[in-house]
Amino acid sequence: MEEEVRHGNQHFTYEVVDLRDERDRLAGSVLLIRDISPWQQAEDALLRWTVELEVANQQLAQISAITGMTLATS
């Protein structure tokens, strides 16, 4: 199972993977740690832009309702 943790401004995932021998007996484990900070930053930016676009669309709808005009889209 993969878990996500945050340390300061950095975001990581970690996962423990069991290593098994040819008889499927536990031979060891490996801890995998990934720095996902760039992906998290991109996700945060996308969320901000989505909110800004929703606000702009609401404002455009209000202007359109007041003026009775719509914008042509291609």
Cβ-in-10-Å burial (0-12, 13-18, 19+) of 52 comes to exposed
pLDDT grade for 66, boundaries at 50, 70 and 90: confident
pLDDT digits (tens, 9 = 90+) for 13-55: 999 999 999 999 999 999 999 999 999 999 999 999 999 999 9
CA distance 29 to 21: 12
Residue 74 predicted with pLDDT over 70: no
The structure's pTM equals 0.57
